[in-house]
A and B are shown apart, each in its own frame.
Chain A
């Protein structure tokens, strides 16, 4: 068989994440202190797990409505009203998805015609660009910069808009930089977008994890609700990554097409997860606050730690990552990570995994205990010391 001829050219041409190789090295070594995970170290709140157990006991394991349990959609709309002051109709403007990831794919495929340009803010989570490509779209990267605190600026945005621009992905709070967009930043972006036919896909999966004031969504900026699809989910805020549950909310004409795709490819999100998620939204505000509080303490400790070690680290205001600059070592991100894991058994993720402009940085997750983080910082300190002494 000549598989090369057989396989989709588009899929084969997708960048195999170069990072895989590095992950494999880290996975095969014993006693590695990892700072590489992209998920909470907390357990899903007990009430949520209990609800899932009850549902299993009752055997309520059928499909739900394609768009998701009505009860859950209502709870999601209440949540959006409360958190980002934006109202959605649970019957027509929300779809419950298999994680935020599915919602990202749906919004791309519902909107993109071949040749349409999709603006992707980088550094960012890795999925946007390949999914746009597979859908026949043309990804156009907008690089954010450390001197802007990795925020998207109106100028950078305006410079990339053409008459083919269809969609803008706005991933804030950001993985890997931890950057957020303040209200004034969003106002400036909205000013550029109002009056265009560009839809914003606002990936707000880390919205509950912001550390200086409440998260603001671009959907709540004047004139933006009609041109925004909000993507969010339960993975990060409620420590529910493995439950695979997310959602998209937006104007009916877009959600309607997304739902159609969802119906054909997925049927419905996992029903047990959906029942449990209702209780997450109802009863877990305190759990979310406690987790946020804990992350915040770690964040401060880790940022301070890196700055003291001489690796400049901008103070992230969201998510659970810090993104220190490693250029002072004279190494590339991948060299740095590889040497660090071999010599000190500490695994961090090279910044270029999140786009070329992530080169010169590494992503460090602080979804770990204080003791674990301190040990890792100690080892990174030793590593830098040894580098300096040749």
Chain B
């Protein structure tokens, strides 16, 4: 039965909870497990879904870890523009995200490190060392309130009472 599953809807479900089984999702959207599986496979194959990961609050188990956002001004390359340099930066393990930006700088990199020294070493040795990088501005994150659409504080309690 049941035809095409709405892709937006499927992605919305997975974005919130990627651990639901195909059966569960099928029940929720009124489809079959086989169709849901096929649709997810297709989204994976076409590169819409790039992977599945846990949303981890690093500070919950490692108080010292540090997240930094680093702005880079970069000289674009004649052939590849910013792409090649961005790809190089993206290949480093400690880098969480690399984004080309509009505005006062070109590339925004987010990096996690064991401590501040760890990050400053990374900026010095890895980023500043790239010829095309003209300057770097490093912002250390003091506190994170929401990541990947998930609010991190535990203070959002359900205050609704039992009501008929």
Contacts and interface: CB of A to CB of B under 8 A. Distances in A.
Contacts, number: 50
B17 interface: yes
Contacts of B63: none
A36 B13 contact: no
Interface in A346-374: 347, 349, 353-354, 370-371, 374
Interface string B1-30: 000000001000100110010001001111
A214 to B, nearest CB: 18
B162 A297 contact: no
Contacts of B160: 34, 37, 39, 41
A300 B25 CA distance: 10
Interface residues of A, number: 28
A243 to B, nearest CB: 15
A300 B27 CA distance: 6
Nearest to B9: A293
Indicate the member of A37, A126, A298, A354 with the most B CB atoms within 10 Å. A37
Contacts of B93: none
B158 interface: yes
Interface string A281-305: 0000000000001000110110010
B163 interface: yes
A39 B27 CA distance: 24
A125 interface: yes
A210 to B, nearest CB: 15
B54 interface: no
Given A301-B24, A301-B27, A304-B27, A370 B16 contact: yes
B161 interface: yes
Given A27-B162, A39-B163, A371 B17 contact: yes
B162 A349 contact: yes
A63 interface: no
B164 interface: yes
Interface in B140-164: 158, 160-164
A46 interface: no
A36 B164 CA distance: 8
Nearest to B162: A36
Given A300-B29, A371-B17, 7 more contacts: A37-B160, A37-B162, A41-B160, A126-B164, A301-B27, A349-B162, A374-B24
Interface of A: 17, 19, 23, 26-27, 34, 36-39, 41, 125-126, 175-176, 293, 297-298, 300-301, 304, 347, 349, 353-354, 370-371, 374
